[in-house]
């Protein structure tokens, strides 16, 4: 029986693998895949949810990483983080633009205010610190979305279309600097995607061992292992 899976689409952000780690810490299996994954490939992967990562580019810039817009017609919940949030807004009728130095542009620990009626923020305090790192912002949100988070500088920190299971945040819930980030990811997985928590690292280890045994058979294996913290 296959475990439930979440798909993390990579848009070039520095925290992509950390997002995957946080999801797995919630006992949900996930993999990081290229943003260029086709609709047929996504259907075959059969995720219970999709996460768009952050990234260093602007969604309106030529050559910036994009997705097939049909991804929003699959009936699969989506969580957009930073660039991923802006990309979702851009595709669904919002407007993304460069922030000014004194308005909307944010970096670092930022007091943020939440609408806790939103499932993504269920069980959270109405104010907490998040980690921001964005030079663009949503000047206009898509019509079907409502604003569910803001800061002193940026009025569009969080958006959602709960009927379709679409959520976007300008901050990074995956980093420790965001006080309740792991709770937000847990809410997305369990409250929105309907995760059952049917995966553990032990499952991964067993599957890996079985795969290696199937490939190697009676042969021998040469393993080069480096255990340093910063080694490759």
The set of catalytic residues is 82, 172, 174
* Nearest Cα to Cα of residue 5 among 222, 197, 151: 197
Contacts of 7 (CB under 8 A, 6+ apart): 30, 31, 33, 37, 42, 45, 47, 49, 50, 51
The number of helices, as runs of H, and strands, as runs of E, in the chain is: 5, 11
Helix (H, G, I), strand (E, B) or coil at 172: coil
Spatial contact of 35 and 66, defined as CB atoms under 8 Å apart: yes
Q: What ranges in the chain are assigned the alpha helix state H?
A: 16-25, 39-45, 83-91, 181-187, 201-216
Provide the strand spans (E) within 115-203: 127-134, 136-140, 146-151, 158-161, 166-169
Long-range contact pairs involving 32-36 (C-beta distance under 8 Å, separation at least 24): 32/8, 33/7, 33/8, 33/9, 34/9, 34/10, 35/9, 35/10, 35/11, 35/65, 35/66, 35/67, 36/65
């Amino acid at each position: 029986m296959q475990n439930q899976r979440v798909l993390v689409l990579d848009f070039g952000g520095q925290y992509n693998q950390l997002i995957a780690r946080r999801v797995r810490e919630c006992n949900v299996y996930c993999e990081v895949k290229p943003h260029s994954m086709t609709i047929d490939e996504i259907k075959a992967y059969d995720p219970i949810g999709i996460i768009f990562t952050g990234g260093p580019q602007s969604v309106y810039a030529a050559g910036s990483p994009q997705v097939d817009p049909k991804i929003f017609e699959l009936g699969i919940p989506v969580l957009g983080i930073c660039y991923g949030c802006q990309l979702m807004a851009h595709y669904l009728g919002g407007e993304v633009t460069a922030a000014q130095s004194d308005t909307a542009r944010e970096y670092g620990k930022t007091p943020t205010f939440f609408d806790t009626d939103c499932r993504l923020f269920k069980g959270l305090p109405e104010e907490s610190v998040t980690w921001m790192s964005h030079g663009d912002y949503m000047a206009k949100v898509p019509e079907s979305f409502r604003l569910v988070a803001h800061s002193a500088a940026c009025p569009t920190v969080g958006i959602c279309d709960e009927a379709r299971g679409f959520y976007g945040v300008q901050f990074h819930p995956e980093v420790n600097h965001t006080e309740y980030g792991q709770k937000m990811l847990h809410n997305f997985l369990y409250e929105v995607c309907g995760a059952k928590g049917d995966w553990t690292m032990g499952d991964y280890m067993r599957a890996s061992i079985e795969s290696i045994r199937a490939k190697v058979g009676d042969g021998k294996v040469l393993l080069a292992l480096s255990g340093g913290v910063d080694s490759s």
